A and B are shown apart, each in its own frame.
Chain A
Amino acid sequence: MAIPRFWRETPSRYNLFASKCGNCGEVHFPPRFVCPSCHRKSIGRMESIKLCGTGKILSYSVVHDAPEDFEMQKPYIIAIIEMKDGVRLTAPIIDCDEPDIGIGTEVEATFRKLGEEGKAGVIHYGYKFRRMNRTPPEK
């Protein structure tokens, strides 16, 4: 992925910044400039909010045929997560094996290496999820 695009997405990849529509209250991740439900009515009313970083697994699968950047980590788990804030996102579940998780397992965001552009290139970082290992924040 090109460096500029990755760099622009830093706030959402590092800190789970999402957008919230000021018209209908819907939360979007990754963030959007215009609400897909309200269209024109949302223009100028979209605000940036930070997701709380915790949620639960809605569904998951184990990836055995991994893309290049994840070759060293296969097999790994990829899951659709419902965040406490109501949005859904897809992310790898790390530091556990398949028997450790299931639908409904509580997970939290961590900060990991997502990939790198070869041995001499830039390294990309961002969120992956693991089983909840802390007291969930109030909210």
Chain B
Amino acid sequence: MDVGIVSYGAYVPRWRITPVEIGRVWGTDGEAISRGLNVKSKSVPSPDEDVITMSVEAARNLMRRCKVDPKDIGAIYVGSESHPYAVKPTATIVAEAIEAAPDLTAADYEFACKAGTAAIQTCMGLVASNMMKYGMAIGTDTSQGAPGDALEYSASAGGAAFLIGTADIAARINETYSFTTDTPDFWRREGEMYPRHGGRFTGEPAYFKHVLTCGKNLMEIAGTSPEDYDYVVFHQPNGKFPLRAAKMLGFGKEQTTTGLLSPMIGNTYSAAVLLGLASILDVSKPGDRILAVAYGSGAGSDAFDITVTEQITELRKDPFLLVSNMISGGKYLDYATYAKFRGKITLAEGSR
């Protein structure tokens, strides 16, 4: 039985800030950091946006694309590392806001930046075993770096939702494979506002080891090689890592450009690989083949081998829903306004 993506929806907040502006405040060479990361600007949510509102926006954009009855959605899973509540699932509010409630199961997922792809795999199992008609997987984050920390130059916000089913598939998931180890490259303890990372440790033994092994093993399982793919998308904590991973696996620039959004919007964490995949689905043709590899610190990778079907054109009738439309036209903030928006300023008791 075929399992795949029935619809998808993206959301990127409207505000932006540049590494140059952040560097101006901390007395560092923002220009050099921007070049080093290959991040020219990052997205910033409004003060009234959080993982719940952005998940709802992405889920509603998904529903606007297709004719699926929300009552046929049997599961909603939201992957994030910045859920507004420690206890009270984001997924419950999304379910209510798209009128899928109350006859469904829902939960929040956590696996650093790959919680959204873990949710896709869960939904694949649920629909393939006929437990439900559709399952919705969402990856959304509004992650923050501590002021002045290296992460502050790239940590951004965005969300993407995927509807997984067995009928009217717009992109068939041929294979999926995961690779998981215990690697302490990046973490945040309960109650802490900002995450910590293992500095240089985040590169080789973490991101590259997992992404490359996972991508390679998936292609072995699928019996494919890099030239079989029209597009490839990796987790993108900056604009450099995914390009290097692509090169090391044997992919060329023309395969990586479409799914690489971090140079424009920064690292959207749980949404990163999903927004990249959405922007590929926005332009791909029936028959195109896509390799998507997520990465989550801690650490693990999920890889997907995907083939686009004829049905894809049915989902692209509204140009407003395209990722490119959400990325263009961003409004730039200065650091002071950004700090206010992100709650980085300590206020007197009783005000907020």
Contacts and interface: CB of A to CB of B under 8 A. Distances in A.
Contacts of A111: 53, 56-57, 60, 97
Interface stretch (B19-27, B42-50, B177-185): B42-50
Nearest to B85: A123
Interface in B294-325: 317-321, 325
A100 to B, nearest CB: 10
Given A95-B14, A134-B64, A134-B321, A10 B96 contact: yes
B318 A94 contact: no
Contacts, number: 61
Contacts of B46: 73, 94-95, 112
A68 B325 CA distance: 34
Interface string A109-138: 011111010010001010010000111000
B320 A133 contact: yes
B52 interface: yes
Contact of A135 (B52, B84, B99, B320): B320
Nearest to B341: A72
Contacts of B318: 134-135
A110 B96 contact: no
Interface residues of A, number: 23
A33 interface: no
Interface string B9-20: 000001000000
Nearest to A118: B352
Contact of B52 (A10, A94, A125): A125
Interface of B: 14, 46-50, 52-53, 56-57, 60, 64, 84-85, 93, 96-97, 99, 317-321, 325, 340-341, 351-352
16 contacts: A10-B96, A15-B97, A68-B351, A72-B47, A73-B47, A95-B14, A110-B57, A111-B56, A111-B57, A111-B60, A113-B48, A123-B50, A125-B52, A125-B53, A133-B325, A134-B64
Interface of A: 10, 14-15, 68-69, 71-73, 94-95, 110-114, 116, 119, 123, 125, 128, 133-135
